[in-house]
Amino acid sequence: MSHSLDAYLVLSALLFAIGTFGFLARRNAISMLMSIELMLNAVNLTVVAFGAFVAKLQVHAAVIALLVIAVAAAEATVGLGIVMAIFRNRKTPLVDEYDAMKE
């Protein structure tokens, strides 16, 4: 089981779907960011699994995974900065109360 690529791919597909659900369903902006992190990790797992099972891609996969981790860190920084900025104006982290465009 740990020797089949399919197991890893199915695992990361499920993780990505869980992240999708969280992103769509949660009301808290920070929960949505956590779900995005889950999705990014699912993609990273796919990349690393392909790297492990295709000899030609082994080094490339590690490089790509490291770059993805760095970009995810940048994304988390900016995302949380935006959430903090909105929170200071609206006094709530719930995204369905960010309805200034409706008023």
Is 33 among the residues that bind other proteins (CB under 8 A)? yes
What is d(CA 54, CA 78) in angstroms, rounded to the nearest whole number? 34
Is 78 among the residues that bind other proteins (CB under 8 A)? yes
Quote the least distance from Cβ 103 to other proteins, whole Å: 8
Quote the least distance from Cβ 99 to other proteins, whole Å: 12
Quote the least distance from Cβ 5 to other proteins, whole Å: 6
Is 20 among the residues that bind other proteins (CB under 8 A)? yes
What is d(CA 9, CA 100) in angstroms, rounded to the nearest whole number? 41
Q: How many residues does the chain have?
A: 103
Is 43 among the residues that bind other proteins (CB under 8 A)? no
Q: Collect all residues with Cβ–Cβ distance below 8 Å to 32 and sequence separation of at least 6.
A: 22, 23, 26, 95
